[in-house]
Structures are given as C-alpha cells and as structure tokens.
Amino acid sequence: MSKDDSTWLNICYVAFALLMVYVSYKFIYTVGVQMAWVERYDEWFPSVNNIVAVVLGGGAAFYLASSGERREYHLGVISEVRKVKWPSVPDTKKMTWVVVVVVIFFSIVLGIFDWAWSNLLQLILP
C-alpha cells in the first residue's frame, strides 16, 4: 500500500467522523425537541448537544480506525477501487439514454396493463 492510499484512508476517516458528528447532533437535537429538553434546558442543552455529538463522532471514527485488521481491509478496498475502469462521459450518456428509454417503455407497458385490468374488473364487478 502506498502512502497515498493511507492518506486517502485518513481523509475518509475524518469525513466519516464529521458525518457522524452531524448525524449525532441532529439525533440528539430531535430527541431534545421531542422530550422538551431544548426549551426546558435552553441555557446548557446546545453546549451539551455539541460536546456529545463531537464525542460520539470522534469515538465512532476512532473505533473504525483502531483495528489494524480493519485498516488493512480498507486499504485493500482503496487499492481495488483504483483498478476499476470507469466509463467515459460519452459511454455514460449512452447508458443513461438506454435506461431512460427502457423505463419509458416499461412504464407504457405497465400503464396499458393497468388500464386493461381496471376495465376488465369494472366489467366483471359492477
């Protein structure tokens, strides 16, 4: 594994920590609103919310990065992703149009079946 892969892995750990801080903050704030802690403890609740969110986010990232086995696995994933041959922009546009056409076709077919089935049921069930 090159130093570049290790650097990218550390950036991913930091991004994960920031994401967990955000999710923890929103979760604790939502619970605080539902339990009326935000209004009742308006002086110190925001500070506690920030501290707990940072501790939870940092703890989750530390737990993720603490195992050497897990770190080697993540480095292996990064090295495998580097080997992927990504499609070019024209290929991506072509494949997108194929998907759009197939979705339109199947939505028309399903619409026809739905219309026929509903008319059939209206004839059978008065």
Query: Cα-Cα-Cα-Cα dihedral of 57, 59, 61, 66, to 10°?
Result: 180
Residues in the chain: 126
The residue with greater pLDDT, 91 or 2, is 91
Under 8 Å between Cβ of 79 and 1: yes
Radius of gyration of the chain (CA): 26
Cα separation, 8 vs 80, whole angstroms: 13
Tens digits of residue pLDDT in 46-99: 999 999 999 999 999 999 999 999 999 999 998 898 899 989 999 999 999 999
- Tell whether the model's pLDDT for residue 3 goes beyond 70: no
Whether 126 shows a pLDDT value over 80: the answer reads no
List pLDDT tens digits, range 31-48. Answer: 999 999 999 998 999 999
Q: What is the structure's pLDDT at 2?
A: 53
Angle at 30 between CA 54 and CA 32, to 5 degrees: 85
The DSSP secondary structure of 4-66, one letter per residue, reads HHHHHHHHHHHHHHHHHHHHHHHHHHHHHHHTTHHHHTTTTHHHHHHHHHHHHHHHHHHHHHH
pLDDT the model gives residue 70: 92
pLDDT band at 125 (very low <50, low <70, confident <90, very high): confident
Lowest pLDDT segment from 3-7, 22-26, 42-46, 77-81: 3-7
AA letter at 78:
I
Residue 108 in tokens: 């028309």
